[in-house]
Chain A
């Protein structure tokens, strides 16, 4: 519990009270060891969805968790070796992202922040494409409309409104509430707990509520916004806020991939069928640093990290599969092998990423020709050509 000096009359905000316990409202299906929990008022509405999953689904989810963690570890290592300028790690948030990503259908559209490598994985973005932005060779890395996965958004909150507008467009296009599973679509918007303080986040709730837009707002509450804890960002937890905007908010155990999947699937189904937005708060934890530039020892205790390490999403899913007899050691070993191969592939792709041609920085600024950009590009090329004719200076 952080030691905070507060004026004696100040009511300590609820969000400050215990950041390791999501409380009774939190939807959860397996405990820290992977033991399947009894029905609770919170999880009952989603129990059918979990029960409909097959052992194969469970193994496949586990595989995603492990591969995504490995991809993330490789990103971190590549930054440390000077191959990337920066890497925002998702360590600890794999279940939140894989659960959410897997609940989406191909016709749904996702608007990520900058840490959603697990969602990208589920959308089918090639892992090496995630590196271009952080290697500094591109401001994006993929074409958003190909796999319905928007570019990473660095300015906190901006993408929430793009998602909302896109969902409003789906409504206008008549791809909501038709009853056709192949056609009906929804949008997911991702942000962190810090992002919930932004104007754009709150404006997106206003617009989505008023329009009854097919939008699922997915807040990964990893407890920290760089060095600032939840209680510096809000007085009530994000999931409780949705009601004030006129739609439901759900808190889910973000380290329980089954629970995240079930809750997100239900919310997406509602959105696609025309029942409007839902806000999901995945209660989770960032186990690593905010990014490779951050030093979390300056602001949080090792004890807190240890408590959350016990809630590790991969350990939990493995416990569940083993207890149920859905997977054996040979399976786990084969997933680990696959992870090793993925790491090698990502590393090689990173090191072999072509350098962009310098004049490309003048391209695609406008759709129609723009004389200023064209003039400057010509001047730039002429200036560069001067070096070639003069020889090395």
Chain B
């Protein structure tokens, strides 16, 4: 059973299960996470096996969910909070940025809040408004929080466990349009060398240009690299995985090897993660660059009605067009 083929959703579920088995202080909390297993069924079956005190159906009140998780963490628990959809995290924004992020510093290290906030994020599922947002930059901007995004089943399985065992608060972004994609997951805790929670990884090697992505756009970028290869263009793809802290060593090494970089994410580009990454590359890799760092992301508008999302989301054509622009320098 060392390796098993499973979806990203099942990968997270299996990771949660492993974490709950390993540590009785791990609690799952959120709306509908119990009998239903969450609206995406990520927590399916867990309440049946761990009971209502460890898989807690909470009242429908996001600030309440995060605020009480803070109190539980102060009491020695390790709550894993599910926010039902990205667009519903805002009622909890205050608790996250004012309290969760700052308690360790406010108490001069006396308090630790090992809380994971799971956020299904991004678009591409034809949903109504407030169900397709990418709000990671708000949290990456706040010191005291760690922000990570998984992109495939194998990574999700391990990352969620690492996030839960971290003593810092972690915002854990899950690409909801990739929940049902399957891949091989190595479940053997002894096997191989594992990436750290904050490592970026090169998921495809290439020589001419580096695509930097995370969450749902990793797969998109891999598709772009396939398409470009047909035309004889060699693209490298980096899965950033961690948005705060950024693994700048891996980013710098990758970009210096190709001399060209494009950051791809679903969030609006204005002050999105891509802005920080482009600025960083400009500062640290200036002499290696053959072209300006480009960004391909959502437009600077509210996430549009789903009939427009194909155009809004950075898809193959827009990314390939940016690749051409970069190579033309």
Contacts and interface: CB of A to CB of B under 8 A. Distances in A.
Given A172-B53, A203-B63, A365-B105, A163 B71 contact: yes
Contacts of A372: 244-246
A204 B58 CA distance: 12
B240 interface: no
Interface in B263-292: none
B146 A145 contact: no
Interface in A103-145: 138-140, 143-145
Given A210-B59, A366-B144, A164 B108 contact: no
Interface in B101-124: 102, 104-112
A41 interface: no
Q: How large is the interface on B (under 10, 10 to 19, 20 to 34, 35 or more residues)?
A: 35 or more
Nearest to A111: B71
A173 interface: yes
B108 A206 contact: no
Given A143-B110, A155-B94, A367-B104, A161 B245 contact: no
Contacts of A165: 67-75
Contact of A164 (B67, B94, B104): B67
B205 to A, nearest CB: 24
A169 B107 contact: no
Interface in B64-94: 64, 66-77, 91, 94
A252 B218 CA distance: 60
A364 interface: yes
Interface string A329-348: 00000000000000000000
Contact of B63 (A161, A166, A173, A368): A161
A166 B74 contact: yes
Nearest to A141: B108
If over half of A's interface residues share one DSSP class (helix, strand or loop), that class is named, otherwise mixed; here it is helix
A364 B245 contact: no
A140 B99 CA distance: 13
B167 A368 contact: yes
A204 B71 CA distance: 11
Contact of A166 (B59, B71, B102): B71
A45 interface: no
B107 A144 contact: yes
A140 B106 contact: yes
A366 B146 contact: yes
Given A169-B72, A200-B67, A372-B245, A364 B167 contact: no
B248 interface: yes
B95 A170 contact: no
B186 interface: no
B51 to A, nearest CB: 11
B99 A144 contact: no
A221 B110 CA distance: 32
Contact of B71 (A138, A169, A365): A169
B106 A151 contact: yes
A160 B67 CA distance: 8
B229 interface: no
Q: How large is the interface on A (under 10, 10 to 19, 20 to 34, 35 or more residues)?
A: 35 or more
B232 to A, nearest CB: 37
Contact of A158 (B98, B104, B107, B111): B98
Interface in B288-311: none
Contacts of B91: 199
A370 interface: yes
Residue in B68, B77, B91, B94 with the greatest tally of chain A CB atoms within 10 Å: B68
B220 interface: no
A371 B63 CA distance: 30
Contact of A162 (B70, B245, B248): B70
Contacts of A161: 63-64, 66-68, 70-71, 95
A385 to B, nearest CB: 22
A168 interface: yes
B44 to A, nearest CB: 23
B168 interface: yes
A365 B108 CA distance: 8
B165 to A, nearest CB: 10
Contact of B64 (A169, A172, A204, A363): A204
B140 to A, nearest CB: 10
B203 interface: no
B257 interface: no
A219 interface: no
A166 B75 contact: yes
A207 B109 CA distance: 28
A163 B72 CA distance: 9
Nearest to B107: A140
Contacts of B75: 165-166, 169-170, 172-173
A40 B106 CA distance: 46
Q: Which 7 A-B pairs have the closest CB atoms?
A: A165-B71, A161-B67, A169-B75, A165-B68, A203-B64, A166-B71, A364-B109
Interface of A: 138-140, 143-145, 150-151, 153, 155, 158, 160-170, 172-173, 199-200, 203-204, 206-207, 210, 363-368, 370-373
Interface of B: 53, 58-59, 61, 63-64, 66-77, 91, 94-95, 98-99, 102, 104-112, 143-144, 146, 166-168, 244-246, 248
8 contacts: A138-B108, A151-B106, A163-B71, A165-B72, A166-B74, A203-B61, A206-B59, A364-B105
Given A210-B59, A368-B167, 18 more contacts: A139-B102, A140-B110, A161-B66, A161-B68, A162-B68, A164-B64, A164-B71, A165-B71, A169-B75, A170-B75, A173-B75, A200-B63, A207-B58, A207-B61, A364-B109, A367-B167, A367-B168, A371-B248
